[in-house]
Amino acid sequence: MELNAVTTMETGRFCVDASICVVYLHPHGLAMPAPSFPDHRRTDQMSSTHPVPASIDTITGQKRLELAHFPTPLEAAPRLAAHAGLAELFIKREDMSGYALGGNKLRQIDFILAEALDQGADMVITTAGSQSNFCRSLAGAAAKLGLGCHLHLRAKMGTDHVGNLLLDDIFGAKVTFTEKTDPWDPAIRAELDEIGQSYEAAGRKPYIAQLTGSSATLGIAGWVSGAAELMDDFRKIGRQPDAIVVVCGSGLTAGGLALGLKHLGATTRVVGVSAQQPEARLRQWIVETANAATTELGFATRLAPNDFDILDDKIGPGYGIPSPASIEAVRQAGRLAGLVLDPVYTGKGMAALLAEGDGGMLTGKSVVFLHSGGTPGLFTHAAAFDTDARP
């Protein structure tokens, strides 16, 4: 593997200790100047005097930690429902799930870090886009547990010290960047393995968590469990809504929800809104990943391609880039329901909900919108809201 794809936040090289350093170069052969970020990386280890709360999930049979605050609220949003042309609208408030500003990734992390600790890991390594909500959440969880954290991020979304990157730093994560742009590129896994081997050579015990790879089953399990919580919510309101709208990055949340709801006999249909991948690719990956998970989880239920919907017409200019529709959706959700969405994930999901409620598949329906968090993205893209259209 050619290690010329990444740089670090500090010196342009990745060093585990004084004897193990790998120099990284700019993809065009130039030394990449490193942003001057303060070095606040953690050196602490897991304390044996503070056991981590854990349990066996009743739906999946998998061990999970209990780091987050569940169940999250299911709230009615009547003014937004009327504006959107829906019979009723409920918001599943995953943004209120706890540490590190919450979000849908916390359910997955409970399962992933349970496995990491069982394997004796003292640090975690993962990869995603530079403004990744999963990486921010994992860094926050690692800080709670006293684990080291190394984030290997795709630089295409920018390397400014704002939003989730700022929080990654605050939580003490070490950050390196890769020139790779496709999260499914197997070369990224090779880079993660290289980083992990360097830590192992220094005496550490890394655990690699990759949502498009080895940790996908645990990510699915997190949201199969989340589906069971939603069924409890539905029993409390006395009915099953027609659909639940969820924005998709990796697709694991939508996949876990669709699998879990089918397994539990629900009639509520998952509508995934892609923020990144074309419909056909995302649908195929969700089905393959969910069904691989069913084998490992011992489920008889299998997910079929027509068990859920995928919309890809709200990606806009591209992944991680606000669109006019997502900006307007953020404004409407704020003004009509007091919600704080972001313009690159949840805003695109809300844009799809508004469009489909206006003469589309959701018109006159009872709908749940899964608020998956991502609040830091609002402030990362604050300039996108600087228009003359403000009242």
Domains and CATH numbers, the chain: 74-103+214-379 (3.40.50.1100), 105-211 (3.40.50.1100)
pLDDT at residue 184 in the model: 80
Stretch 102-107: mean pLDDT? 98
3-state secondary structure of 91: strand
Is pLDDT of 22 > 50? Answer: no
Residue 208's alpha-carbon distances to 8, 52, 94, 138, 357, in angstroms, are 18, 20, 25, 12, 41
Is pLDDT of 292 > 60? Answer: yes
Q: pLDDT tens, 244-259?
A: 999 999 899 999 999 9
Q: pLDDT tens, 25-45?
A: 344 443 444 433 344 444 444
Q: Which of 97, 130, 132, 215 is catalytic?
A: 132
CB 335 within 8 A of CB 326: no
Is pLDDT of 197 > 60? Answer: yes
In whole angstroms, give the CA distance from residue 67 to residue 53: 7
In whole angstroms, give the CA distance from residue 365 to residue 81: 10
Report pTM: 0.86
Is pLDDT of 141 > 70? Answer: yes
Give catalytic status of residue 132 as yes or no: yes
